[in-house]
Amino acid sequence: MKYNVDGMVNRYKVQLIAKGYVQTHEVEHEETFAPVAKMSTIWIVIVLAAAEGWHLHQMNVKNAFLQGELDEEVYIVQPPGFKLSSHPIVIYRLKKPLYGLELALRTWHSKINQYHHQVSFRMSKSNNSLFICSDSKGQLFIIIYVDDLVIGGEHITDINNIKKLHSDQF
């Protein structure tokens, strides 16, 4: 439950999370590796931004894992507390990855990687969670860390434009 300052219930929240820890590699899925930004890359970008006077912004993609596309068939049973008395045993086939699935992060990274290529960013050769866009106006970069993005660059208007593009897309 989400509460107001006065302690009254504002709204109810619910999140369906898959029990990914019970998945079996090569039985239920083939690949689990998903790139995540290295902390050394994040620190270097922060130091570079401070030295150059660049702007840094952080964005959280609240529905990041629902953005990916499943290449494999994934099934889940009804979660506890959601069992239908008329159908006590129901199995659902997922169309989108859920938070908790081992392959959810990989599908999200694949989706945002494709999008970054469409909007003229190129992936760093040293870290596949760092994307760079250079043109005559300057440089922009995006670091992906799970479902957070760190966006930086020389001009605040460029950063705001990229944030708007990402908000519209995701």
- pLDDT tens for each residue of the chain, 170 residues long: 788 899 898 887 766 666 655 556 555 555 556 677 888 888 988 999 999 999 999 999 888 888 888 887 888 887 777 777 888 788 888 888 887 777 788 888 889 999 999 999 999 988 889 999 988 778 899 999 888 999 999 999 999 999 999 999 98
Would you call 98 helix, strand, or coil by DSSP?
coil
- Residue 152 resides in a domain: yes
- Residue 118 resides in a domain: yes
- Residue 17 resides in a domain: no
Name the amino acid, one letter, at 105: L
At which residue do the structure tokens 């957070």 appear? Answer: 148
What's the half-sphere exposure (Cβ side, CA atoms, 13 Å) at 156? 2
- Residue 8 resides in a domain: no
Give the domain range for residue 114: 33-64+105-169
pTM: 0.72
- Residue 87 resides in a domain: no
pLDDT confidence of residue 99: 76
Dist. CA 27–CA 18, nearest whole Å: 17
Tell me the CATH number at 59: 3.30.310
Torsion angle of alpha carbons 152, 129, 103, 60, nearest 10°?
-10
- Residue 91 resides in a domain: no
Name the amino acid, one letter, at 91: I
State the Rg of the chain over Cα.
20
Dist. CA 43–CA 74, nearest whole Å: 37
- Residue 44 resides in a domain: yes
- Residue 16 resides in a domain: no
Which H or E run contains 134?
Answer: strand 130-135
Bridge pairing between strands 55-60 and 148-153: antiparallel
Dist. CA 139–CA 25, nearest whole Å: 40
Number of domains in the chain: 1
